[in-house]
Structure 1
């Protein structure tokens, strides 16, 4: 059913007010009017509706300003929940977050990597159900599931466009199938884009800022957020910095490009480089497998932190390459912050942060106009899963008209909300 312009405008207004309340943590109606440009009467009416819907609660009085103390409002954390599911090549992470984006439950497990999707997705669905039950979350308050993964994808129909981890996943409708299993809307998205928006929702960046995210798990991805919205491009496969060329004469990548960053700086690249150094490989007892090389990467990173010169050299070389990518991101999008997110930054994140910051300070085009900060994610290793859940909150509550027109599929209707 088509949405009338008047109703669409109303949804947009509600979304704007909700987002300002989320960002401010606690605020007054007068402050909401100043922040949004809406009239006091409109703010009062919208806030009254939000309170009636249970999304917002009054939380006492603000500091005196010379008159009657103003009543403060904030989001009601228990009003709504969402689920984030991160499908990685060798692991699956599931989180449940409340309306503020705070994680209330988490689980992770291995084993889905080499399963066909017909077996893997029912397993994921059962784990989601179990986690919701364990957390005692009212299922009627769950808005949906944010399913995040790597590689090219078609968000509009919810399919993966990569033959990884196996050929059976190529073109498979992962979002519709998971939605059928759970009876909940499922939104498919890129892990790096999800990690980027999670920083915004949890207040780690300024509301109107333009910032980038470098996400490193088994591969390397990127995302850019402009004033609270992910930059999508024409097909929502943007800012794939793991597949920019850093060597135009380099080897061909499975993506079709040559000399891709991921093949020089990613975790699997470091493990390969370490295995070519017999003394280091023996010293660290490296024994990589196709689905377990992140464990070996963590050993290299830990050795680098402990001062092993060869391991440190490998990690710093990787960080230098990522610094080049960060400079490219800064030059293309004029960002003010770059967030480092993902499990592969968990062990040697301080080394990566320092080296990338050096490259950005030295080489960014706009460095004389404004600094670019390189910071760790507030969401740590679970940044993508938390971000996936946050994308559902944002899509359902604050974006009446997403710029790319992509919405979660509604189970049982085949329509977009």
Structure 2
């Protein structure tokens, strides 16, 4: 495990300086002092410590400003790595990212969550090991694994609080078991929250902004980031927009609510609607008994993109429902941007982006105060997995959060 004195001295200051260097790409010590309000001597000492840890390197001189040219510094992307694992109902995606958040390796496979937890996590562990070996990443530089999945969750205990997709997963200690198998720290988090913070780390949003993320894979989730930190709520189960009620007389959802958005606008809902549309299921070769909703939804989206009127009508209806959810998000959190992330948006993003933007422009409470941009994720279909890896980087390197005892690596027996 990578070790450094990150927590030994001025952790918050070190984190602040490191995050500014990350966001700026290249920056001088003078600019760091101006941005932080710290003295030049303090900045020089912190940068010297970061360079000693290998996290930061000097990269030459800046443009002349009338005096002595300033020495520029930047992150050393190869200094640390982290792993992101997105565990979906149908698919598992694993990525390895460097300190800058750039993806250096990726793999995916199907069916993990439909297996018993021990079997599924054993497969995940073996795939993580194989991916690190293929990418020739030094394990001593790997900070840990961000395991992201759907909710509800007990993030501190590292367990899922849902019997989805099977009862075996309810209260199963997924984070601890994966940590034992791989010998690396594992943190559990919500896939939508992870996708949201990934945008910040990659520099796709203003670091001072408040922005939202709508995440759509098999289900629908949401996340809000305020000045670079995920809004957590009281139990880290916040912004579950897939389970806001859009019909108080609607059917009961397994979550306990009625008329949930996910049951009207999510991929599984669209597949059911397409199967019930005369001729459409046959035309798109949909499987009425299939459980792989992402694949079936992708067929509907592809048909919508190529001009199939019935398929496009279903996607646009879904987008209008999601537009209503986006308006709710803007009313509750006063965001300035909404990012659309996840594999389902990756295949039909242009339709969703256009319709959701129209709904927000027309219906947002604060529309006379400011406009809200609806944009696609820079991380595409892998946004949650990349975000999971980023959450590890952020926690370890910039927020000054020491690892909880139950997230420390377990020695291999």
Normalised to the residue count of structure 1, the TM-score between the two structures is 0.95
Which position in structure 1 is the counterpart of 2:4? none
Q: Deviations over 1:188-246 (max 9, x none)?
A: 00000000000000000001100000000000000000000000000000000000000
Give how far 1:291 is off: 3.0
Q: 2:126 aligned with 1:126, yes or no?
A: yes
Shift in alpha-carbon separation, 1:219–1:327, aligned structure 2, 3 A: same
Shift in alpha-carbon separation, 1:328–1:8, aligned structure 2, 3 A: farther
Q: Counterparts of 2:353 and 2:373 in 1: how far apart (Å)?
A: 10
Which position in structure 2 is the counterpart of 1:3? none
Maintained 8 Å contact 2:89/2:111: no
Shift in alpha-carbon separation, 1:369–1:20, aligned structure 2, 3 A: same
List aligned pairs for 1:338-353, cutoff 5 A: 338-353=338-353
Q: Counterparts of 1:412 and 1:347 in 2: how far apart (Å)?
A: 39
Q: Counterparts of 2:45 and 2:232 in 1: how far apart (Å)?
A: 33
Give how far 1:68 is off: 1.0
Which position in structure 1 is the counterpart of 2:90? 90
Q: Counterparts of 1:408 and 1:98 in 2: how far apart (Å)?
A: 24
Q: Counterparts of 2:199 and 2:378 in 1: how far apart (Å)?
A: 7
Q: Counterparts of 2:294 and 2:397 in 1: how far apart (Å)?
A: 36
Which position in structure 2 is the counterpart of 1:209? 209
Give how far 1:8 is off: 7.3
Q: Deviations over 1:294-345 (max 9, x none)?
A: 1111111111111111111100000000000000000100000000000001
Maintained 8 Å contact 2:176/2:406: no
Which position in structure 1 is the counterpart of 2:137? 137
List aligned pairs for 1:288-307, cutoff 5 A: 288-307=288-307
Question: What SS does the aligned partner of 2:112 have?
Answer: coil
Q: Counterparts of 2:246 and 2:406 in 1: how far apart (Å)?
A: 36
Q: Deviations over 1:83-127 (max 9, x none)?
A: 000000011000000000000000001121321001110110000
Q: Counterparts of 2:173 and 2:117 in 1: how far apart (Å)?
A: 9
List aligned pairs for 1:183-262, cutoff 5 A: 183-262=183-262
Question: What SS does the aligned partner of 1:332 have?
Answer: helix
Shift in alpha-carbon separation, 1:299–1:166, aligned structure 2, 3 A: same
Which position in structure 1 is the counterpart of 2:173? 173
Q: Counterparts of 1:129 and 1:181 in 2: how far apart (Å)?
A: 10
Maintained 8 Å contact 2:27/2:74: yes
Which position in structure 2 is the counterpart of 1:4? none
Maintained 8 Å contact 1:379/1:386: yes
Q: 2:144 aligned with 1:149, yes or no?
A: no
Q: Counterparts of 1:138 and 1:376 in 2: how far apart (Å)?
A: 33
Q: Which runs of 5+ in 1 are unaligned?
A: 1-6
Shift in alpha-carbon separation, 1:288–1:408, aligned structure 2, 3 A: farther
Deviates more, 1:232-241 or 1:285-294: 285-294
Q: Counterparts of 1:38 and 1:393 in 2: how far apart (Å)?
A: 24
Shift in alpha-carbon separation, 1:302–1:288, aligned structure 2, 3 A: same
**Equivalent in 403, 408, 411 of residue 409 of structure 2:** 411
Q: Which runs of 5+ in 2 are unaligned?
A: 1-6
Maintained 8 Å contact 1:187/1:408: no
Deviates more, 1:282-291 or 1:148-157: 282-291
Maintained 8 Å contact 1:156/1:407: no
Q: Counterparts of 1:294 and 1:229 in 2: how far apart (Å)?
A: 30
Q: Deviations over 1:30-61 (max 9, x none)?
A: 11011111111100000000001100000111
Maintained 8 Å contact 1:89/1:291: no
Which position in structure 2 is the counterpart of 1:108? 108
Q: Counterparts of 2:225 and 2:213 in 1: how far apart (Å)?
A: 8
Which position in structure 1 is the counterpart of 2:3? none
Which position in structure 1 is the counterpart of 2:311? 311
Question: What SS does the aligned partner of 1:132 have?
Answer: helix
Maintained 8 Å contact 1:187/1:407: no
